[in-house]
Amino acid sequence: MSAIISEYFRFAALFFKSKDVMIFNGLIGLGTVASQTAYNIFAFNCPCSPTKNYVYGVTAIGMPALAFFVIGVILNQNTWDIVSECRTRKCRKLSGTAAFAVMGSIVGRAVVAPITWSVISLLRGEAYVCALSEFIDPTTLDNFPPTTDPPKIMARFPCKDLPVKLLNYSGEVERRLKYESQLLGWLLVGVISLSVFLLLCLKNCCSSIGYQQETYWSQYRSNEQSLFQRTAEVHAKYHAAENVKSFFGFVALENQEKELLTQYEGTSIKSVIPRLEWNRITGVYMYREMNDTPMYSRLNKWANYTNENNC
């Protein structure tokens, strides 16, 4: 029984590891939905005043989305890879294909939260109703009483702060604006879905290798990055322990750390890594040079062999 349970958890771990990007984007989306819902419940407060309504509503939809996008760009490692590339080599050796791949990776992950925020805001409709209520023409409402200052009266509809004779029109105004808001939200979802599909088609059509080989290459890069991170952690811990020991004469290590570092004693661990080698392992370099790597060459041969056999 225990073997079956352990095998089940192992399978689940492998599944989630293979879908880590999708799961990460899903968690970002869920977090954004929760944040947007909490904002509407606890913080959203339409000023119900001409001009201020529009500014407040548009800001409530657009500014958090912009903030999420900037944060997503900042937290993406590829952003700093391309900054490092431009700083060290002035982007002279960065090809258009590599730049498109890196920028696509940066923007693709950074837009998940902004798009989710904007879509949920439009589907809920509160911000849109607040922003555009003052622009509704009162003459389009049946038997609406004449007013001397229509924008000022219409701007008060989101707050229900109206004379008794106008309260009957608040439901119609809200329904009309929420209809427009939700229509824009679903159109945005459709346009984004179609755009993602077309970009994926363009990416696969322009690739020199097949879909299976592309998947294998992605797994290879993911495993290489994971191994690099783990090895870098051990390397840094090993030399930190050596330096601390040379200063104090001993180093206080946990039992697990002692066992880990003991495994690498006697091996030829580099004490200093030249800067040129550090420059060659950036993500930008990997995109720029992947056509010259033996692994990518083997994948191209694999793709050509598959195409010949299919013909």
Torsion of CA 236, 242, 247, 253, to 10 degrees: 80
87 and 279 Cβ atoms separated by less than 8 Å: no
Query: Does the pLDDT value for residue 4 go beyond 60?
Result: no
User: Which residue has tokens 């849109």?
Assistant: 128
63-67, 95-99, 265-269, 282-286: least confident range: 282-286
Structure tokens at 172: 């119609």
Per-residue pLDDT tens for 176-191? Answer: 999 999 999 999 999 9
Name the band, by pLDDT with cuts 50, 70 and 90, for residue 92.
low
92 and 288 Cβ atoms separated by less than 8 Å: no
Per-residue pLDDT tens for 25-59? Answer: 788 888 888 988 888 888 899 998 898 999 999 99
Instruction: Please tell me whether residue 14 adopts helix, strand or coil conformation.
Output: helix
Structure tokens at 232: 């870098």
Give the type of residue at 162: L
60 and 127 Cβ atoms separated by less than 8 Å: yes
Per-residue pLDDT tens for 121-152? Answer: 999 999 999 999 999 888 888 888 887 888 88
Query: Does the pLDDT value for residue 60 go beyond 90?
Result: yes
What is the pLDDT, as a whole number, of residue 77? 82
Distance CA 170, CA 290 (A): 61
Query: Where are the chain's structural domains?
Result: 1-41, 44-206, 236-309
More confident site: 118 or 286: 118
Which residues fall within 8 angstroms of residue 124, CB to CB, at 6 or more apart? 36, 40, 181
